[in-house]
Structure 1
Amino acid sequence: MAGSLPKELKRFGNDVRVILPKYGNIEGRWKSQMTKEAELTVSVGWRNQYCGVERLEYDGVIYYFIDNEYYFKREGLYGYFDDGERFSFFTRAVLDSLASLNFYPEILHCHDWHAGMIPFMLRMEHQHRHGYELIRTVMTIHNLQFQGIFPKTVLTDLLGLKEEHYHPSLTEFFGNINFLKAGLVSADWITTVSPTYRDEILTPYFGEKLHGVLNSRKEQITGILNGIDESIYDPRHDPYIEPYSEEDLSGKKENKKRLQEQLHLNVEEHIPVIAIISRLTKQKGLDLVKCVFHEIMQENVQLIVLGTGEAEFERFFAEMENLYPKKVKAILEFNEEMAHRIYAGADLFLMPSKFEPCGLGQMIAMKYGTLPIVRETGGLNDTVQSYNEITKEGNGFSFRNFNAHDMLYTIRRALSFYRQPDIRYEMVRQALAADNSWSHSAYQYNEMYADLLAGRESHVFY
């Protein structure tokens, strides 16, 4: 989103800039193009820490990188024991760097828990500083399951806030502090990455113990679908595949043949290829797949899995490949080129998520004419129209209940229509014609920003 949305927002004449940590695993070719814009000292509790701000322009968008090797020169992005300290530093570094850069945005749009403290700190410490007083804030929830929960000491010892800020209506969360909650109670506006997810998180089942906070602010929550970057995902111009289009699908057949050959599956055009490209986690509904896997294998299908994740699922799919060597291929790695080849060569795309804030896989699959089979949740519900035999409309197949046999029934239903060429080709064309680009989403964000700047009243809690 931070790579795709800014490019689209610039089309509306906006000055869009992105600020993020200078993570250690950023490729050297990008680091070599960065130029230092500022140096400052950032207070993290009683410590004063170095902060460099480096700049890189890409696709017409300015990116600022917060440089501190102690906090960010590591293999991963987060998941470390000191994440509370790392992102306390990032919070303060972002806000302090605005003055050093002499750049005061009208809108500060923060994403997920890692930036959740930024709207809160802006209100508590910077609201009356010159240049900061007119900044409006937006908080986007990408996945409510991840909240940034840390001991209370992070609030006072690292962020330098007061005891009064540890309060149930502010940062307190079952004896700890919660970075995401801080953003939700202090931002001027909140967005989720799909309309259905916006409604789901207001309920106890999806609300991850924050549904009370979210219901108190539900009039300031908007669901806006993510999009896909069509400069990356486009079967007409994809360098990894044989190109094809809505008008000429012959290339899709060729991609299927090449995929079967490459993965040593039986090369047979009439056998449906089902793909799973995903993080291998329970959230993605893989418990359902495990439950009825052997029933799926009784069908005349091939299944390709690409992804990494929980050891339980990696082991399972590896075992299934050994058990069904001519029908199953498990590629347990992240491989962007292979992902493109699978999207282009598969016939059906399975994504039975337990919950899915937005989901990009089903949108990419449709862009490649690969029909999705999904559960009706979050962005899956907003993007996949289940095939209707009466109206002949639909770009995929869906089921409502989180139930393995409901999923199995839907897979079999999809296979029955796959074997009817006229219906299959029409559905593929409808999938290819779906507009899941960022342009529509960017328009909605632009309108929301305009409303905030027009002086719409803020309804924050303090």
Structure 2
Amino acid sequence: MKILFASPEAHPLIKTGGLADVAGALPRALKNLHHEVRLVLPAYRSLLDTLETPPAEVARLQLHGDTAPVRILQTHLPGSALKVWLVDAPGCFDRPGNPYVGPDGHDWPDNAQRFARFARAVVELAQDRAGLGWRAELVHTNDWQCGLVPALLSLEAARPATLFTIHNLAYQGLFDAALLGELGLPPHWWSMEALEFHGRLSFIKGGLVFADRLTTVSPTYAREICTPQFGYGLEGLLRHRQDRLSGILNGADYQHWNPGKDPHLAANYNGRSLAGKAVDKAALQREFGLPERPQTPLLAHIGRLVEQKGVDLILGALPRLMEEDVQLVVLGSGEAQLEAALREAQAAHPQRIGVRIGYDEPLAHRIEAGADLFLMPSRFEPCGLNQIYSLRYGTVPVVRRTGGLADTVVDASEAALRKGTATGFQFDAPTTEALLQAIGRALGLYRQPPVWRRLIGAGMRQDFSWTRSARRYLEVYRLALADRG
């Protein structure tokens, strides 16, 4: 199958979140299953700066409404033979910093124009109007930044099948209504059956309405987004298309997330011997300026510091946690008040709490290896990847029972412990008290080393590889091809 995979980011070229991990791993897994895959991304300045060899220009496109042509550059995903096409529109993507947010912390004011242009370039590439001698059979698009691609392809007389993946329904790409005409989109799309959403232009609806098939990143999240609690006003549309909606768990890239070979660690280890994990714990304590206490449980959190991730629940739990013999390390950035609260907590307990504001990929690996418990008290979590990494690294996850967290972590109930299937701890209510109760259960088992080792072992044996997920995507691709007719 010829598959064009369109994404606004892909690890290791450009990353702001979990979508990048998916876009960097799933296309490679599909290629390894002997399909022809091309990955297409915007040519951000920071992306081009990461390339060791300048990409080659392979085509120029004259897009609707543009005076200057857009260049198509070709490179490979680092560490693989996967071809990557970069849409080089300097007015849109040659700027510093984050792909979506300016230096002032606000969305780039021209995000609609930027990603509309990217979508039009994807359509031209898919239809082989760039003269590259390659025509897609299926286009896999991701999140609101690619939402216009299925919509624009629906206007083509002969087109590839389309699939749209929702990575987080909270981010919808909503813009001023006047942009419909400015972007050259058909006037009849200004309808609640198309791109209109409460008086605004919705890019995500381009995917939700027009794609042949819809997926999201876990079975539980696929059910949740069809409810008012998680649907953000789109639950009616999603229920209408529920027969075309599938939940497929994200995979883990075990090439990059493998404690047995991870180059970022002080010591490597595996499920047969955890001696290296003790070395990594001591190294992590030193790195955060914490006392080296092998027996003290070391808790960790990595992620965006936003309400969705339940960071406020962790902060609320700190007074009680500080009464226990525990340490906590946090890596992330986000809302200013949450960053400030974490810094204050660290200042108040410098021997117990370590905080790094920002994102540091190698440090994330060292935290996964060195921690004993990983906290993910998310209010909602479409899939989540850190809990999957934690399982492989023998770091027991404590998660709220929602989305992909519910699908990947088996609660340490008495029955699951007896069967040897338990891999972590779940709780239901998004409250500090519920989080504390789950941590309390975890600390109780931590003090029983034989039980704790069995819990770690069960987690490390879990297989969330991308090969498994890629096979499931191929099943949905075939359904999309059949739906297109």
Instruction: Give the structure-2-normalised TM-score.
Output: 0.90
Query: Would you identify which runs of 4 or more consecutive aligned residues in structure 1 move more than 3 Å?
Result: none
Question: 1:176 & 1:28 partners in 2: Cα distance?
Answer: 35
What's the C-alpha RMSD, in Å, of the aligned pairs? 1.3
SS of structure 2 residue aligned to 1:110? strand
CA-CA distance at 1:32 after TM superposition: 3.0
Counterparts of 1:16-415 in structure 2, within 5 Å, are 16-30=37-51, 32-44=53-65, 47-58=66-77, 59-75=80-96, 76-78=98-100, 79-97=107-125, 98-100=128-130, 101-124=132-155, 127-128=156-157, 133-158=158-183, 160-241=184-265, 242-392=267-417, 393-415=421-443
Which residue of structure 2 lines up, in the alignment, with residue 3 of structure 1?
24
Contact kept? 1:149, 1:177, Cα under 8 Å: yes
Where structure 2 has 5 or more consecutive residues not aligned to the other structure, the ranges are 1-21, 101-106
CA-CA distance at 1:423 after TM superposition: 0.6
Aligned counterpart in structure 1 of residue 452 of structure 2, from 405, 419, 424: 424
Letter in 1 for 2:94: K
Decide whether aligned partners of structure 1 residues 396 and 85 sit closer, same or farther in structure 2, where only a CA change above 3 A counts: same
The Cα offsets for residues 214-237 of structure 1, whole Å up to 9 and x where unpaired, read as: 011000000001111111010000
Contact kept? 1:43, 1:49, Cα under 8 Å: no
The Cα offsets for residues 116-136 of structure 1, whole Å up to 9 and x where unpaired, read as: 011001112xx21xxxx1410
Question: 2:114 & 2:362 partners in 1: Cα distance?
Answer: 33
CA-CA distance at 1:287 after TM superposition: 1.8
The Cα offsets for residues 328-383 of structure 1, whole Å up to 9 and x where unpaired, read as: 00111211111111111100000100000010110111110000000001110000
Contact kept? 2:161, 2:484, Cα under 8 Å: no
Letter in 2 for 1:157: E
Letter in 1 for 2:99: L
The Cα offsets for residues 209-267 of structure 1, whole Å up to 9 and x where unpaired, read as: 10011011000000001111111010000111100010011111111112112222121
Question: 1:457 & 1:181 partners in 2: Cα distance?
Answer: 19
Letter in 2 for 1:199: R
Question: 2:264 & 2:137 partners in 1: Cα distance?
Answer: 41
SS of structure 2 residue aligned to 1:330? strand
Contact kept? 2:42, 2:88, Cα under 8 Å: yes
Question: 2:88 & 2:222 partners in 1: Cα distance?
Answer: 34
Contact kept? 1:355, 1:377, Cα under 8 Å: yes
Question: 1:272 & 1:66 partners in 2: Cα distance?
Answer: 47
Contact kept? 2:149, 2:207, Cα under 8 Å: yes
SS of structure 2 residue aligned to 1:269? coil
The percent of aligned pairs where both chains have the same amino acid is 38
CA-CA distance at 1:327 after TM superposition: 0.3
Which residue of structure 2 lines up, in the alignment, with residue 450 of structure 1?
478
CA-CA distance at 1:456 after TM superposition: 3.6
Where structure 1 has 5 or more consecutive residues not aligned to the other structure, the ranges are none
